[in-house]
Amino acid sequence: MNIGILSGPNLNLLGTREPAIYGRATLDDILAALGVVADELGVTLRHAQSNSEGALIDTLHAWRGEVAGVVVNAGAYTHTSLALRDAFSATAIPFVEVHLSNIHAREPERRHSMLASASLGMVCGLGAAGYEYALRGLVGALRARG
């Protein structure tokens, strides 16, 4: 089973970007830890990161029929991108949202997710460990579907 890990804007700066909010783990650190979990679960990961909304959408289109599901941290596009939500719906790729910080305890503009209504679930506020929980949850949900 192939699983996509989709990373949005500014996640390439993890580890140095506002570490008090996002932690010190880099995106490479997170992906390495996910690789260990993926091996345990018997799944293969594909990763894409972009600071461009269109590139994220193009990635989803390209993954159609190639990945069984996606773990996504859409960064700030979480709160603004109806286009990204529509891309998930159009491709019918199941997904779980993940956020390093608790978006519901942040500034008012960060408390709403445009993606949530189309997602299988959301993990937020648990730092880098949230990615593991999101991956395990996604794979479990996909396997339960058959």
Distance CA 15, CA 49 (A): 15
What count of residues does the chain have? 146
Annotated catalytic residue within 47, 79, 99, 131: 99
Intra-chain end-to-end CA distance of the chain, in Å? 12
- 99 as an active site residue: the answer is yes
| 104 annotated active-site | no
Would you say 46 and 63 are in contact if contact means Cβ atoms under 8 Å apart? yes
Residues contacting 37, CB < 8 A, separation 6+: 132, 135, 136
Set 22, 47, 61, 131: catalytic member: 22
Asked if 110 contacts 142 with a C-beta cutoff of 8 angstroms, the reply is no
DSSP secondary structure, 77-102, as one string: GGGT-HHHHHHHHHHT--EEEEESS-
**Annotated catalytic sites, by residue?**
22, 99
